[in-house]
């Protein structure tokens, strides 16, 4: 496990790099990808994967981590899966019922969530199709009191994430919100043609 001082130092260095990359991105979603590509390698305890019964699937999945941002659609009925990392290609820009699962809980409460071990959370809903998450974090994107979406980071190994990881993710969710607004994200969403996008109303 990385000590807190090292994690804090790495987080500051990554924040400086990712904020610059996001500011130079060409589209709102490209800016969000700067965040979702950088976060999974920064947070979490790699040793969690070595614990007995670490994974909820047997054999363990080939892909162990994932990240994405669920964006609130202008009509308020769905989240849009955006900037996904290690999601199946068909889930990119999938529309997800805004009330579904823990992303739906964050949409209602505007508060972050930490699921250290999803096996202990009966209400956990599998939305990511690449693997069944053993540990997950959710941090809202807020802008001037308005909910924009939720930054999600998942790992296949149970007990991967803790409170300090969530604190780092909250900082990056705030960065993602600022980048998204600065890059014209709300206007991009308004102009997005959703007529042919897949819609998910239940998990697995």
The predicted-structure confidence for 139-195, as pLDDT tens digits, reads as follows 999 999 999 999 999 999 999 999 999 999 999 999 999 999 999 999 999 999 999
| pLDDT for residue 1 | 60
| pLDDT for residue 2 | 66
What are the boundaries of each domain within the chain?
4-192
CATH class of domain segment(s) 4-192: alpha beta
Place of tokens 């805004």: 98
| pLDDT for residue 185 | 98
| pLDDT for residue 22 | 97
| pLDDT for residue 67 | 98
| pLDDT for residue 58 | 86
User: Which ranges of the chain have pLDDT less than 50?
Assistant: none
Q: Is the pTM of this model over 0.75?
A: yes
């Amino acid at each position: 496990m990385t000590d807190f001082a090292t994690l804090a130092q790495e987080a500051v260095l990554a924040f400086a790099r990712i904020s610059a990359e996001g500011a130079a991105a060409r589209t709102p979603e490209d800016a969000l990808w700067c965040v979702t590509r950088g976060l999974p390698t920064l947070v979490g305890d790699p040793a969690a994967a070595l614990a007995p019964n670490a994974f909820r699937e047997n054999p363990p999945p080939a892909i162990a981590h994932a990240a994405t941002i669920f964006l609130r659609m202008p009509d308020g009925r769905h989240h849009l899966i955006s900037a996904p990392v290690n999601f199946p290609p068909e889930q990119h820009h999938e529309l997800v019922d805004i009330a579904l699962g823990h992303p739906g809980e964050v949409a209602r409460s505007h508060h972050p969530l930490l699921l250290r071990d999803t096996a202990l959370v009966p209400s956990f809903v599998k939305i990511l199709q690449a693997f069944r998450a053993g540990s997950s974090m959710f941090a809202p994107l807020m802008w001037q009191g308005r909910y924009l979406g939720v930054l999600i980071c998942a790992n296949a190994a149970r007990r991967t994430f803790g409170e300090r990881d969530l604190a780092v993710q909250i900082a990056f969710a705030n960065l993602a919100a600022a980048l998204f607004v600065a890059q014209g994200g709300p206007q991009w969403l308004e102009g997005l043609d959703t007529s042919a996008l897949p819609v998910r109303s239940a998990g697995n």
